[in-house]
Amino acid sequence: MSFASLGLCEPILRTIDEQKYAEPFPIQVEAIPAILSGRDVMAAAQTGTGKTASFTLPLLQRLAGGCKVKSNHVRALILAPTRELALQIAENIATYGKQLPLKTAVVYGGVKINPQMMKLRGGVDVLVATPGRLLDLFGKNALKFAQVETLVLDEADRMLDMGFIGDILKILALLPKQRQNLLFSATVSDDLRTLTKALLNNPVQIEVNPRNSAAVNVKQSVYEVDKKMKPALLSHLLRDRNWAQVLVFARTKKEADRLVKQLEGDNISAVAIHGDKSQNQRARALTRFKANQFRVLIATDIAARGLDINELPHVINFDLPKLPENYIHRIGRTGRAGAEGEGISLVCADEVKLLAAIESLICQTLVREVEAGFAPTHRVPLTRQQQVRPKKLKKPKQKRAVD
Ligand code: AMP
């Protein structure tokens, strides 16, 4: 299967060639023709499957053939839950659309609003935005939605988890009724299904991975350890395994900062990104991490959402996430675009319930490991379902030979 056979035009095919994409990923095979034909799309696709290209490529092509954008207007609106993801989508658009005469902007909170208002003055063909800042800009008359042809909700599940439903509904009410709607989500919950019913019109449904599954090419395991020994085990694993680049998830900002201090004390270079860091600090940390200037990036769930670090081989959950869906998002940071990855969770006895919820969501029992010298005083028990032994098979009654 080639990208050309999906109906993409020459300028876009040239940029795909430059990216050295040999052939389209499954989600792209399904989504690109559907979006080009103007259909609504609902895609349950994990991160790392190539979903960003699956909507940006056809979107850019459709916009390139359309009318001119007026001052302060927008023709395609892409909503993303976090600044990092918004920036990443905008980067993709800049790459894929560089041969096309389209104007793009990205807006998010936490930075001054005036430069963003200036950028919107002449109108933009594609606007990538976080919901809160979009509404702020609308409130300041910096944005008009009458020309919106396409709305994309990326990582819609995450937007709901983060409590954006109110903002999303406000935005929907401001948009023209006639438009194309595209919705992408890694996990599918009941709330999401309600949103899709309200938003999508006879959508093409795409599901490239089994629903709520963690990336298949990621080797996952659980290291059982006592809570107080977790920091020492983390340093030990980082030293012992000699991994080059590791993303560590911590549940709170405080813990992320504490771990950085500890690792630096152990001569392991580390930087934290979380909600208390400025946008510039986060972007700088990410660039330096991608350039291998330090070994360990420690992130909270919100800050890490949307990170795309090519061939990131190792993810460590210092704590299990409170929401089981976040386990899938965290593990999705590795094993991207077909690369192999490893996801390790440090689990103490307090986290048994969280582990059980994760295992039930991904329909998988994770392999338990104990690192020599770190054996826990309390083992992490298997969940009740896992303890149930298969019933002994009854011996089949011997059939009387019939001759
Ligand atoms: P995404 O799921 O959109 O975050 O994409 C994950 C990664 O896959 C990104 O680094 C893309 O550059 C890469 N990618 C997207 N489409 C292809 C393709 N057809 N072949 C190879 N890599 C791709």
Write the pLDDT tens digit of every residue in 28-64.
999 999 999 999 999 988 777 889 999 999 999 999 9
**Using only C-alpha atoms, what is the Rg of the chain?**
23
- The three-point CA angle 169-187-84 to 5° equals 70
Taking the centre of ligand 1 as the mean of its atom positions, its distance from the CA of residue 48, in whole angstroms, is 6
CB of 50 closer than 6 angstroms to any ligand 1 atom: yes
Report the Cα–Cα distance between both ends of the chain, in Å, rounded. 58
In the block, residue with structure tokens 């059939």: 399
Question: Environment class of residue 399 by beta-carbon count within 10 Å: exposed (0-12), middle (13-18) or buried (19+)?
Answer: exposed
Mean pLDDT, range 147-161, rounded to an integer: 93
Mean pLDDT, range 274-279, rounded to an integer: 78
pTM for the model: 0.65
Q: What is the pLDDT of residue 383?
A: 55
Q: Decide if pLDDT at 393 tops 80.
A: no
Mean pLDDT, range 247-260, rounded to an integer: 94
Work out the pLDDT band at 195, boundaries 50, 70, 90.
confident
Taking the centre of ligand 1 as the mean of its atom positions, its distance from the CA of residue 210, in whole angstroms, is 19
Question: Environment class of residue 257 by beta-carbon count within 10 Å: exposed (0-12), middle (13-18) or buried (19+)?
Answer: middle
Nearest to 78 by CA among 183, 152, 185: 152
Q: Decide if pLDDT at 214 tops 80.
A: no
Mean pLDDT, range 394-400, rounded to an integer: 41
CB 90 within 8 A of CB 104: yes
pLDDT tens string 88-129: 899 999 999 999 999 999 999 989 999 999 999 999 999 999
- Would you tell me how many other CB atoms lie within 10 Å of the CB of residue 84? 24
Mean pLDDT, range 175-196, rounded to an integer: 89
Task: Provide the percentage of residues in the chain whose pLDDT is more than 70.
Answer: 87
Task: Provide the percentage of residues in the chain whose pLDDT is more than 90.
Answer: 55
- CA-closest residue to ligand 1 atom 22: 21
CB of 209 closer than 6 angstroms to any ligand 1 atom: no
Question: Environment class of residue 232 by beta-carbon count within 10 Å: exposed (0-12), middle (13-18) or buried (19+)?
Answer: middle
Arithmetic mean of pLDDT over the chain = 86
Mean pLDDT, range 77-96, rounded to an integer: 93
Nearest to 179 by CA among 71, 266, 89, 59: 59
- CA-closest residue to ligand 1 atom 6: 48
CB 345 within 8 A of CB 354: no
CB of 52 closer than 6 angstroms to any ligand 1 atom: yes
Mean pLDDT, range 188-212, rounded to an integer: 81
Q: What is the pLDDT of residue 283?
A: 80
pLDDT tens string 284-338: 888 898 888 999 999 988 766 656 665 677 899 999 998 888 888 788 776 655 5
Phi, psi of 22, deg, nearest 5: -70, -45
Work out the pLDDT band at 392, boundaries 50, 70, 90.
very low
Q: What is the pLDDT of residue 278?
A: 78
Mean pLDDT, range 379-402, rounded to an integer: 45
Work out the pLDDT band at 388, boundaries 50, 70, 90.
very low
CB of 47 closer than 6 angstroms to any ligand 1 atom: yes
Q: What is the pLDDT of residue 303?
A: 67
Of 9-13, 194-198, 246-250, which gets the smallest average pLDDT? 194-198
Taking the centre of ligand 1 as the mean of its atom positions, its distance from the CA of residue 25, in whole angstroms, is 8
Q: Which atom of ligand 1 is nearest to the CA of 45?
A: 2
Work out the pLDDT band at 340, boundaries 50, 70, 90.
low
Nearest to 305 by CA among 284, 282, 289: 282
Q: Decide if pLDDT at 387 tops 50.
A: no
Taking the centre of ligand 1 as the mean of its atom positions, its distance from the CA of residue 366, in whole angstroms, is 27
CB of 51 closer than 6 angstroms to any ligand 1 atom: yes
Q: Decide if pLDDT at 171 tops 70.
A: yes
More confident residue, 237 or 326: 237
More confident residue, 70 or 187: 70
Work out the pLDDT band at 401, boundaries 50, 70, 90.
very low
CB of 94 closer than 6 angstroms to any ligand 1 atom: no
Nearest to 313 by CA among 329, 331, 326, 300: 331
CB of 332 closer than 6 angstroms to any ligand 1 atom: no
